[in-house]
A and B are shown apart, each in its own frame.
Chain A
Amino acid sequence: MSTSIDFLLWVRGPGFDIALFIFVVGVLIRLLEVLILGRKPDYSEPRGAELGAGLLTLVTRTAPEGGSFKRSPFTVVGGYIWHIGFLVSLFLFVPHIELIDSVLGIRWPGIASNLVDAISAVTIVTLVAMLFSRLSHPVKRFLSGPEDYLTWLVTFLPMLTGYLAYHRMIDPYPLVLGLHILSVELLMVLFPFTKLMHAFTFIIARWYNGAMAGRRGVQS
């Protein structure tokens, strides 16, 4: 008998194992191959410290540069809203914290589920608006390739299915919960091989920019 429970058991069992394997191994390979390659030794006399400047840049680059905000306020504000909304939904919803605890053995307090619900709704609407803007703005559209639409889709689906699951909008519930987990597994599988890797590599990039400028004694 093939039921929605069978589907849920598969995505929670073998499906999750496969996705976790590809995600963790993929991310580690991509990070280590960059880090191990290293850079040529710099024999010049340093004019400043790398550490402080590197760490500072990690933080300062989070704030938008004034010019880009003036040029495209919608992209900047929309980008912030959905990134924060996505991270809040991912890391502060109690069922997700349970999952992270079971994988990594670390936990933290969550926030009220209906608050996560409201934030998710805003995030979903923003993601749709961002896609609309990407499609309607001639420059953004010109700059966008298939990978951009693919990464949008695999980011959007977990939010959408999560919202549907929370509100139990698809019957039976095991089906919609299974679809939610499956959509996350799709995200995990594609993550290491697409520009979604920026969630890890932004640290390396910002650090390098900051540390390099710090060594040369200039502002990054």
Chain B
Amino acid sequence: MADDRKKLSMTLGESLRQQGVSRRGFLKYCAATASMMALPPNMVPAVAQALEKARRPSVIWLSFQECTGCTESLTRSHSPSVENLIFDHISLDYHHTLQVASGDAAEAAREAAMHENEGKYIVVVDGSIPLANPGYSAIAGISNLQMLEETVAGAAAVVAVGSCAAFGGLPHANPNPTGAVSVGEIIKDKPVVNVSGCPPIPTVITGVLAHFLTFGSLPELDALGRPMVFFGQSIHDRCYRRPFYDKGLFAETFDDEGARKGWCLFRLGCKGPMTYNACATAKWNQGTSWPVESGHGCLGCSEPDFWDAGGFYNALSIPDSDLTRKTGYVVGAGVALGAAAGALNRSTRAKAAAKHETVTIDDLDKKS
């Protein structure tokens, strides 16, 4: 514990030198971090300076109604790697999934981190919070809502990792049986950064933390509270298959000639045009590939309510309902009503004809 505290008081530069990291290695790392955050090369010295002087902030990671996919994603981060992040960048003082076997000791670590770093620590949340009944999700006997409110009270900022924490995600999907809500719907008095995605791109999770460390502030956010640097452009705008969309060349099945030639996946349900994320540029699995590159359309997982946004394999322009059946009913109703209107018109005409009195010249003479 005393060692840990000493480590915590060291700057990142001191800590790295202690671990035998060379100046050259450190600058290379800074350049990689700066490029990931889309900063110009002349910012690298500033990043290096900031990171060298930065003290490792305490991070408390809370997992609520989630599937651990976000943690799985984070542990596959390659730049900076999760080891980098935990050992060099941050002091991950509590992560209930990783510490599950520690029981009460883990809870004690969380409380200790909160007291020692009052007002300075970062809370990372994955998973949504059930409001319908606190019993739906509790950790160590503490409801998710209570734990979130308690932990965030003394935090500097909150990072909502994954679509569940950012927008409610799968637990929030219609009919939302647990009354799941996002972090942002509960926490109003602290800055909340939404790092959405199901799961989010690992380098995006670590990038947000690296930004906080470098600049001591949160990155610029979009209307949905997501960092602009990663969520500023749509999948469609950065997609390498975009020229095929413009040319009108679309794959119609997953194994037709168009699919083999890498044509646009719009017809197969790609939600790229409405999805804002960095998949097309940051890619996955150490920059190996990303869903569209591997031949599957984007599911739109970094957008709110993507579970309820219609079939994953329906084109974005198709409305979300059983239209063929409904069209049948509507045509039936239209024909019936049209026939009724026609019949009404005919009867009006027949009545008018029946009422019509024939007038002869003699009749007119009589009247005058």
| Chain A residues within 8 Å of B, Cβ to Cβ | 1, 3-6, 8-9, 12-13, 16-17, 20-21, 24-33, 35-38, 94-96, 98-99, 102-105, 110-115, 168, 171-174, 177
Contacts and interface: CB of A to CB of B under 8 A. Distances in A.
Contact of B267 (A12, A13, A98, A105): A98
A95 B327 contact: no
B346 A36 contact: yes
Contact of B323 (A26, A102, A172): A102
27 contacts: A1-B168, A4-B223, A6-B305, A8-B274, A12-B310, A13-B319, A17-B319, A17-B326, A20-B323, A25-B333, A28-B334, A29-B337, A94-B267, A96-B317, A98-B315, A98-B317, A98-B318, A99-B318, A102-B318, A112-B248, A113-B246, A113-B248, A168-B273, A172-B223, A172-B274, A173-B276, A174-B274
B305 A173 contact: no
Contacts of A113: 245-248
A163 to B, nearest CB: 15
B317 A99 contact: yes
A13 B321 contact: yes
Given A33-B344, A173-B276, 10 more contacts: A1-B168, A16-B321, A30-B338, A31-B338, A33-B345, A94-B267, A112-B247, A112-B248, A113-B245, A173-B234
B234 A168 contact: yes
A81 B100 CA distance: 69
Contacts of B245: 113
B309 interface: yes
A103 B315 contact: no
Contact of B315 (A35, A95, A173, A174): A95
A3 B304 contact: yes
Interface of B: 167-168, 182, 184-185, 222-224, 234, 236-237, 245-248, 250, 266-267, 273-274, 276, 303-306, 308-310, 314-321, 323-324, 326-327, 330-331, 333-335, 337-339, 341-346, 349
Given A29-B341, A36-B338, A5 B317 contact: no
Contact of A174 (B185, B303, B308): B303
User: How would you classify the secondary structure of chain A's contact residues: helix, strand, loop or mixed?
Assistant: helix
A110 B248 contact: yes
B318 A37 contact: no
A28 B335 contact: yes
B319 A99 contact: yes
Contacts of B305: 3, 5-6, 9
B319 A24 contact: no
A41 to B, nearest CB: 13
A114 B247 CA distance: 7
A32 B316 contact: no
Nearest to A92: B248
User: How would you classify the secondary structure of chain B's contact residues: helix, strand, loop or mixed?
Assistant: helix
Nearest to A178: B274
B130 to A, nearest CB: 16
A98 B266 CA distance: 10
A174 B310 CA distance: 14
Contacts of B345: 33, 36-37
B247 A29 contact: no
Nearest to A35: B342
B342 A33 contact: yes
B309 A103 contact: no
Contacts of B234: 168, 173
A21 B250 CA distance: 31
Contacts of B323: 20, 102-103
Contact of A20 (B222, B274, B326, B337): B326
B321 A32 contact: no
A192 B203 CA distance: 53
Contacts of B185: 1
A24 B331 contact: yes
A28 B331 contact: yes
A5 B315 contact: no
Contacts of A35: 342
Interface centre among A12, A21, A26, A32 (most CB of B within 10 A): A32
A32 B339 contact: yes
B193 to A, nearest CB: 16
B324 A103 contact: yes
Nearest to B267: A98
Contacts of A24: 327, 330-331, 334
Nearest to B318: A102
B242 to A, nearest CB: 10
B220 to A, nearest CB: 14
Contact of B327 (A1, A8, A38, A103): A103
A112 B246 contact: yes
Interface centre among A21, A98, A177 (most CB of B within 10 A): A98
